[in-house]
Structure 1
Amino acid sequence: MTGTIDHVMLRVDDLETSVDWYGTHLGYEEKDRHEGDDFSIVYLGPEGMADDGAMLELTSNHGETTEEVGDAWGHIAVRVPEGELEAHYEQLMDEGVEDYRDPESCGGRYAFVKDPDGHEVEIVQRDYGARWSLDHTMIRVEDADEALGFWTRKFEYVEPRSRWEASSFANYFMAPEDGAKESMWLELTYNYDGRSYTMGDAWGHLGIRVDDLQEDWDQLMLREADDYRDPDACDNMYAFTKDQDGHEIELIERDLDAESLFPF
């Protein structure tokens, strides 16, 4: 199982407002769009993103507004070149982006802003990957050992970059063992105080790109993953499982050279 992170799905109130925000401030371009009867989906990403890079999927449900941003999902992180954090942050401030945590409050290592729906966007410095490309997404877990075991056993992920274990919390960065440097990473955050989290519906799912949907699904079932929506239930276009905390994980095959990024 390769298990490259393909996309992160966020739900938004006003799709065009959100598409414009990511296009104006992060230079994201529309990679593909699907208009359903009750919902619309847009895939976004920076120009020149790597083949193994992840996309941002924005979903808007027609006639529904005010999605709840729970705390079980934390943020997406986007990359800027080393030494350019302050300049890019100031540019966003000049453009009227909502400030959340400035570089100074983060020790000059990163910063946070918010998109129109209140989703947190971290800005990190990397010496690789396209400018503003997705670096990682952070989810909060209630048991670090269970979470690490899930991603290690079910998806064969490892901790290739770093871990941070402080006095009150720990962060673990997970990815496929042979994943490309430009690919997206998963950050697991564990707080030691035993708190629980609200999932909300503004955070949708994490999309995992697999080589063979049915074969990889069968392997997950052998490894006792949650049978949430199997391939048959999804017309053999994709499938969904859940981690130990209820975060939804989509499995999808992706032909990057196909006319459409959507399987339907």
Structure 2
Amino acid sequence: MDGTLDHTMIRVADLEDSLDWYETHLAYEEKDRYEGDDFTIVYLGPEEMHEDGAMLEITHNEGEEPEVGDAWGHIAVRVPEGELEDRYQQLMDDGVEDYRDPESCGGRYAFVKDPDGHEIEIVQRDPDEGALWSLDHTMIRVEDADEALGFWTRKFEYDEVGRWEADSFANYFVEPRTAPPEAMSVELTYNYDGRSYEMGDAWGHLCIRVDDLEGDWDRLLDRGAADYRDPESCDDMYAFTTDQDGHEIELIERDLEADSLFPF
């Protein structure tokens, strides 16, 4: 199973406001767009993103106001080492609301919010590890760390590549075994107090690029993954499973040389 993280999907209330925010502040460009009868999907990312870098998928459903839950945490974007404070100040100068500045985060990272309240962490990385503002990781909250790690390591053959354990919570980072440094990771956050989370609908799903949709889907089912939306129910274009906490995970085959990023 290839297992490259292809994109993270979020839902937004105003498509044009969201596109303007990401294009203005993170210099994202529109990679492709699909117009449905009552919804629009747009893929975004840095102009010079790596072919294994993850895109941001923005979905707008007409007439809907998405609600942000706390089961999804944030996306993280990259800036070069030593540029955190300057890049954060640049966002402030451009009119982005001050949410969690570098000083409040010990000078290690910072946070802003997009127009819908999606949290965006800013992390420092080696300049060779992906384009400016490229997606570094997506954080999701889990209610059982052992189950969550087991899900990703057994179902998708991911490796645990990092962890940070504090007094009240722990963060675990997982990614494909052969992931290049430009690829996105998944951050699993586990709070020790046994709390539960609300999913909301403003965060949509993670998407994993696979080589063989039917074969990899069958392999996931053999490993006990949830049969949520199988390939046949999705016109054999993609499929969805869920993790132990109900986070949706899309599987898709992607022809990087095709004229369109969409399989429609």
Matching residue of 1:109? 108
Retained in 1: the 8 A contact 2:143–2:196?
yes
2:81 corresponds to 1:118: no
What TM-score does the superposition give when structure 2 sets the normalisation length?
0.99
Matching residue of 2:139? 138
| CA positional deviation for 1:79 | 0.2
- Which letter does structure 2 place at the counterpart of 1:124? V
What TM-score does the superposition give when structure 1 sets the normalisation length?
0.99
Q: Output aligned runs, 1:238-249, within 5 Å.
A: 238-249=238-249
Percent identity among equivalent residues? 79
| CA positional deviation for 1:62 | 1.1
Q: 3-state DSSP class of the match of 1:59?
A: strand
Q: Per-residue CA shift, 1:76-96, capped at 9, x if unaligned?
A: 000000000000000000011
Q: Per-residue CA shift, 1:93-142, capped at 9, x if unaligned?
A: 00110221100000101000000000000000000210000000000000
The runs of 5 or more residues in structure 1 that have no matched partner are none
CA distance in 2, matches of 1:216, 1:166: 36
Corresponding pairs, count? 262
CA distance in 2, matches of 1:236, 1:18: 30
CA distance in 2, matches of 1:29, 1:181: 22
CA distance in 2, matches of 1:17, 1:169: 35
Q: 3-state DSSP class of the match of 1:101?
A: coil
The runs of 5 or more residues in structure 2 that have no matched partner are none
Matching residue of 1:259? 259
- Which letter does structure 1 place at the counterpart of 2:109? Y
Retained in 1: the 8 A contact 2:153–2:160?
no
Two-structure CA RMSD over aligned residues (Å): 0.5
Runs of 4+ in 1 over 3 A off after TM superposition: none
CA distance in 1, matches of 2:237, 2:261: 12
CA distance in 2, matches of 1:16, 1:43: 13
CA distance in 2, matches of 1:141, 1:114: 22
Q: 3-state DSSP class of the match of 2:98?
A: strand
Q: Output aligned runs, 1:59-208, within 5 Å.
A: 59-65=59-65, 67-127=66-126, 128-160=129-161, 162-208=162-208
CA distance in 2, matches of 1:99, 1:250: 33
- Which letter does structure 2 place at the counterpart of 1:73? W
| CA positional deviation for 1:190 | 0.0
- Which letter does structure 2 place at the counterpart of 1:100? Y
Matching residue of 2:236? 236
| CA positional deviation for 1:153 | 0.6
CA distance in 1, matches of 2:255, 2:97: 36
| CA positional deviation for 1:64 | 1.5
Q: 3-state DSSP class of the match of 2:56?
A: strand
- Which letter does structure 1 place at the counterpart of 2:78? R
